[in-house]
Chains A and B, each alone.
Chain A
Amino acid sequence: MKIPIKVLINNKEVKTMVEPRQLLVFLLRDQLRLTGTHIGCDTSSCGACTVHLDGNAVKSCTVLAVQVDGRSVHTIESMAGSALHPIQEGFKEEHGLQCGFCTPGMIMTTANLLRTCPNPSEHQIREALEGNICRCTGYHNIIKAVQYAADKLQKEVKHV
């Protein structure tokens, strides 16, 4: 039996009906057509499905849609404004992707890191991205992309 939920998704209120067994990632992708959030391993290992729940990175393949009722979800679609978000720009400039499948998850986890730790060391970046698996890049350019974003975001803060 479907039950009603009300969720703030990318700052827009969404009221919908879901089966209790509906996973958050399917609500986002299939019902709301927010297909930037990817399904990789489907076993909470790879991190391709990472979104923010009340500001914290979570794996949406292992969260039920009913669990986010009354809460706020941000997906990769919320990152860019008229220009790319500095984290997205970092991945582009530093070649932090090849096939791009893991990138939305990488970017959402990076955003979670840079919110709590604006100037991370290489070790802190690698540790923060433990739950995001990339099969193309070997990670080195991803680290550079995160460093690029951290630098740019800190400069932006200084200007304000």
Chain B
Amino acid sequence: MIPSSFEYMRVSTVAEAIDALRHDTDAKVLAGGHSLIPAMKLRLSQPSKLIDISRIPALNFIRDRGKYIAIGAATTHGTIATHKTTVQKLPLLAHAASMIGDVQVRNMGTIGGSIAHADPAADWPAVLLAAGATIVVEGSTGVKKIPASEFFVDFFTTQLGEGELITEIHVPEPTVGTYRQAYAKFVQPASRFAIVGCAIQFELKDGVISNAHVAYNGVLACAFRDAAVESSLNGQPLTEATIENAASKAGAGSNILSDNFASAPYRAHLTKIYTKRALQSCLA
């Protein structure tokens, strides 16, 4: 399969990328290309031009800025999985990154590309929702900081506007010891996308859960936090009974996805199972 024809330009600064996007509204941004190139090979996407941002140094970094860790949009999943800062300070992100695709995909695919594409089965959207991340977006009118909870709006649809570029992802550093985090997923064995994924973060003080974030991917048209599951956890002790109760609340929504890999009732069932598994991994 070969994509339709397009022009290619490689840019070396964010300003150049934004300028190029403004001049061609049918242009697309290329980072690792592991969401975009498959879509182009299937001709689901036929951009007039690709603007290659993969070599912009300002988009390729992981930095501790005190209250939060900043991750450049063109950072690969493989780097996030192995970088000292993410491994030590954002173990949820490092762990989730190591579960994306396979080693070859992780060596090319980027966090910014994945969230811009917003595949409902992708891992990052649920993980960033659970971690309370903020997406930094730059366009010709300036810089915007969008909470992950507002960023993902529908099937392959985000708050990213025309001519805008994701530049950074900011993730608050959880206080080690009081926070529990987990990501568990049921994997499609060829693509290694999630059929259902569940990302969890909560505080545990004196054995009691508070500030629970429970987010899912693969279940609805876009990643989402489930308030019913979260409220069943807040104020409760971290016990098997609490976990059973929370899992029973999961997968209750309508419009659950259905495809040749998993029907809607099966996905609803998996949603409960993976809620339980993610929470159980926090017991230790």
Query: Which A positions have Cβ atoms within 8 angstroms of B?
Result: 1, 3, 19-21, 23, 26, 41-47, 50, 53, 56-59, 62-64, 66-67, 69, 109, 112-113, 128, 130-133
> What residue in chain A is nearest B52 (Cβ atoms)?
A67
Q: Kindly identify, within residues 1 to 53 of chain B, every residue whose CB is under 8 Å from any CB belonging to chain A.
A: 1-8, 10, 30, 33-34, 37-38, 40-41, 50, 52
B105 pairs with A44, CB closer than 8 A: yes
> How far apart are the CA atoms of A3 and B52 in the complex, in Å?
14
User: Which of B2, B7, B190 is within 8 Å of A23, CB to CB?
Assistant: B2
A131 pairs with B103, CB closer than 8 A: yes
A128 pairs with B38, CB closer than 8 A: no
B2 pairs with A131, CB closer than 8 A: no
Q: Kindly identify, within residues 225 to 282 of chain B, every residue whose CB is under 8 Å from any CB belonging to chain A.
A: none
User: Which of B2, B54, B103 is within 8 Å of A21, CB to CB?
Assistant: B2
The minimal Cβ–Cβ distance linking A36 to chain B, given in whole angstroms, is: 17
B50 pairs with A128, CB closer than 8 A: no
* Interface pairs (29), CB distance under 8 Å: A3-B8, A20-B5, A20-B6, A20-B8, A21-B6, A23-B2, A42-B1, A43-B38, A45-B191, A45-B192, A53-B107, A56-B78, A57-B103, A58-B104, A58-B107, A59-B104, A59-B105, A62-B34, A63-B37, A63-B108, A64-B30, A67-B33, A67-B54, A109-B104, A112-B103, A130-B102, A131-B101, A131-B104, A131-B192
15 more A-B residue pairs beyond the given contacts A53-B108, A131-B103, with a C-beta to C-beta distance below 8 A: A3-B8, A19-B5, A20-B5, A41-B190, A42-B41, A45-B191, A47-B104, A58-B108, A59-B108, A64-B50, A66-B10, A66-B52, A67-B33, A67-B54, A131-B192
> How far apart are the CA atoms of A23 and B41 in the complex, in Å?
10
Residues of the B chain whose Cβ atoms lie less than 8 Å from the Cβ of A56: 78, 107
B33 pairs with A130, CB closer than 8 A: no
Residues of the B chain whose Cβ atoms lie less than 8 Å from the Cβ of A26: 2
B102 pairs with A62, CB closer than 8 A: no
A133 pairs with B52, CB closer than 8 A: no
Query: A1 with B7: in contact, given A45-B191, A62-B37, A67-B33 (CB under 8 Å)?
Result: yes
> How far apart are the CA atoms of A21 and B33 in the complex, in Å?
12
Residues of the B chain whose Cβ atoms lie less than 8 Å from the Cβ of A47: 102, 104
Number of A-B contacts (CB under 8 A): 84
Q: Kindly identify, within residues 89 to 123 of chain B, every residue whose CB is under 8 Å from any CB belonging to chain A.
A: 101-105, 107-108
A131 pairs with B102, CB closer than 8 A: yes
The minimal Cβ–Cβ distance linking B217 to chain A, given in whole angstroms, is: 19
B103 pairs with A62, CB closer than 8 A: no
> What residue in chain B is nearest A105 (Cβ atoms)?
B104
Residues of the A chain whose Cβ atoms lie less than 8 Å from the Cβ of B37: 23, 62-64
B38 pairs with A62, CB closer than 8 A: yes
> What residue in chain A is nearest B54 (Cβ atoms)?
A67
> How far apart are the CA atoms of A64 and B4 in the complex, in Å?
13
> How far apart are the CA atoms of A56 and B79 in the complex, in Å?
12
Query: A21 with B5: in contact, given A56-B107, A131-B103, A133-B190 (CB under 8 Å)?
Result: yes
A131 pairs with B105, CB closer than 8 A: yes
The residue in B34, B52, B104, B107 that gathers the most chain A C-beta atoms within 10 A of its C-beta is: B104
B104 pairs with A50, CB closer than 8 A: yes
> How far apart are the CA atoms of A130 and B40 in the complex, in Å?
24
> What residue in chain A is nearest B7 (Cβ atoms)?
A20
The minimal Cβ–Cβ distance linking A86 to chain B, given in whole angstroms, is: 20
What 8 A-B pairs have minimum CB-CB distances, sorted nearest first?
A: A131-B102, A20-B8, A56-B107, A130-B102, A45-B190, A21-B3, A59-B104, A131-B104
> How far apart are the CA atoms of A59 and B5 in the complex, in Å?
21
